Amino acid sequence: MALKATVFKVQLQIADMDRHYYQDHSLTIAQHPSENNERMMVRLLAFALNASPTLAFTKGLSAEDDEPELWDTSLDGEIQLWVEFGQSDEKWLRKAAGRARQVQLFCYGGRSVPVWWKSSQQALERYSNLKVIDIPEEAVKTMAGLVDRTMQLQCNISEGQIWLSNQDQSVLIEPVLLKAAQ
């Protein structure tokens, strides 16, 4: 019998001073059996950094190869934002860059990220609509400590720093920009 996804309910309050975006979101996040808490929290962080009324999680890891795990589409179906996670290969990012106006890759994984980036940087530089962000390993591990089946989180973003908090603890996240979109 196949394992089923674990469902998490999240009440997320976002105060993004950098984008002047202030909103509460009620989210349902399905965690694939092969996904760990660290990866799920990086997905939630990516949502908070790009939050909009039309941003949505897709079927994720169980989806077909033609959609990302997080995206923002216009009313006419055009993909405004395609968000990927991990250390994707150039072929997959080329496909995303060709289909979406903007692509973001959220890397995590500690010491493996610089190794991956060194081997991938030259190939990825040609995609002008691609932004690559590294989330530091310590922040990812600490974010995983916030995981609960029902979460009430506050996300405050100012000058590139992110504070993700629940009633018991706060995590400072300082993403490292590896490549900016043009």
Give the per-residue pLDDT at 158: 98
Cα dihedral: 107, 108, 114, 118 (round 10): -30
Give the per-residue pLDDT at 3: 81
Q: Phi-psi bin for 109: left (phi > 0), alpha (psi -120 to 50), beta? A: left
Here the tokens at position 52 are 């909009």
**Cα–Cα distance measured from residue 163 to residue 173, given in angstroms and rounded to the nearest whole number:** 6
Give the closest residue to 23 by CA, choosing from 42, 57, 48: 48
Give the per-residue pLDDT at 60: 61
Give the per-residue pLDDT at 97: 96
CA quadruple 74, 76, 80, 82: dihedral sign: positive
Give the closest residue to 135 by CA, choosing from 87, 91, 100, 170: 87
The strand pair at 6-16 and 150-158 is best described as parallel
Give the per-residue pLDDT at 64: 57
Q: For the chain, what is the largest distance between any 2 Cα atoms, rounded to a whole number of angstroms?
A: 48
User: Do residues 171 and 165 lie in contact, with contact meaning Cβ atoms separated by under 8 Å?
Assistant: yes
User: What is the reported pTM?
Assistant: 0.94
Q: In whole angstroms, how far apart are CA 90 and each of 36, 121, 130, 179?
A: 24, 9, 11, 14
Give the per-residue pLDDT at 168: 95
Instruction: Give the ranges where the chain is alpha helix by DSSP (H).
Output: 37-50, 90-99, 112-124, 137-144
- What is the chain's pLDDT, residue by residue, as a tens digit (182 residues)? 568 889 999 999 999 999 999 999 999 999 989 999 999 999 999 999 999 999 999 876 555 567 899 999 999 989 999 999 999 989 999 999 999 999 999 999 999 999 999 999 999 999 999 999 999 999 999 999 999 999 999 999 999 999 999 999 999 999 999 999 98
CATH 3.40.50.10580 assigned to domain 36-148+169-179? The reply is no
Residue 123 CB neighbour total at 10 angstroms: 13
Give the per-residue pLDDT at 58: 86
Q: Round to the nearest angstrom and report the end-to-end CA distance of the chain.
A: 47
